Amino acid sequence: MDSEIIEEENHSIRILLKGTDRASVNALRRTMIADTPKMAIHRIRFTQSTTEEDGVIWESVGPISDEIVSHRLAMIPIPSEGAEFHLPEECPECADLVESQRGCPTCEIIYRCTVKGEPEGRAVKARDLEVLGDLKFSIPEEFQDITITKLYTGQLIDFIARAKKGHGRDHVKWQPVAGITFYARQHGVLNDKKAAKVLWKLGLTIKEKDFKNGRIEDIATVEQLKKDLLHVGPSTDHGREFADAITLEDVPGEYILQYESDGSMLPKTIFEDATAILSSRLDNISADLDIVL
């Protein structure tokens, strides 16, 4: 399978895959969703306290229950790019421990958050998560504005949150991709020059001269053609007259895979990780088959 990035912008990407088939691309898609690990907050210890300061009683309470706060924390993208963390169950330091005891500097990131309310209300944001250890694992600037809860005078929140590596198949908080889909690459084919005039008359983006020898092959131009064709589709006033003047033809063995990263990793890294995971799994299967057969 050959791959070529055709568009990469912030957290979204489109990749052209060549010399493959639908089942293989779907296997890659499933691997990205379920089997490509990333870091996410998994365990949180809330400190319960009641103190009095200058006549004000401060209690570890808030408008949102601890369970919901935990859920919100789990959804915050934790930097996983290039993070050489182990999965806790494979960590050389703690794999032998019982699950609740696992966690060491090579398999988890710890964040601390202590915020007191204010008379006008104080939003507790992702930026209030203070990383204990390497600052490169601080919540990235663009996600610092994620609100976790809001506190007023007398309310406080104090917790330690631990992020660990996991798989999307166990919980969606460990899924690095969103909106992942793929479709066959297509070429535009001009079948009937006379009937196609219906489209040119509308003065949309694609013109007759965009067709070279009756075809459009450029990916971006075909995308635009697809949009233009909606104006002359079967359910429009022009449908009957236009008919099949221009059609779209699947290119054998070529697919376009598109998705967004949740922000914890670059979309390109997710692709590289997923292809490595999938190919090692396939190698394992063929090795097993060699033994059995």
**Residues near Zn ion, by CB under 5 A:** 91, 93-94, 104, 107
Q: Which is nearer to Zn ion, 49 or 106 (CB)?
A: 106
Minimum separation from the CB atom of position 272 to Zn ion (A) = 24
SS (H, E, C) the chain: CEEEEEEEECCEEEEEEECCCHHHHHHHHHHHHHHCCEEEEEEEEECCCEEEECCEEEECCCCCCHHHHHHHHHCCCCCCCCCCCCCHHHCCCCCCCCHHHCCCCCCEEEEEEEEECECCCEEEEHHHCEEECCHHHCCCHHHCCCEEEEEECCEEEEEEEEEEEECCCCCHHHCCEEEEEEEEEEEEEECCCCCCHHHHHCCCCCCHHHCECCEECCHHHHHHHHHHHHHHCCCCCCHHHHCCCEEEEEEEEEEEEEEEECCCCCHHHHHHHHHHHHHHHHHHHHHHHHHHC
Q: Which is nearer to Zn ion, 94 or 177 (CB)?
A: 94
Minimum separation from the CB atom of position 263 to Zn ion (A) = 25
Q: Which is nearer to Zn ion, 91 or 199 (CB)?
A: 91
Minimum separation from the CB atom of position 79 to Zn ion (A) = 18
Q: Which is nearer to Zn ion, 104 or 172 (CB)?
A: 104
Minimum separation from the CB atom of position 255 to Zn ion (A) = 39
Minimum separation from the CB atom of position 108 to Zn ion (A) = 7
Minimum separation from the CB atom of position 33 to Zn ion (A) = 26
Q: Which is nearer to Zn ion, 91 or 196 (CB)?
A: 91
**Cα 187 from Cα 103, distance rounded (Å):** 52
The encoded tokens of residue 210 equal: 């965009």
Q: Which is nearer to Zn ion, 102 or 185 (CB)?
A: 102
Q: Which is nearer to Zn ion, 85 or 242 (CB)?
A: 85
Minimum separation from the CB atom of position 91 to Zn ion (A) = 3
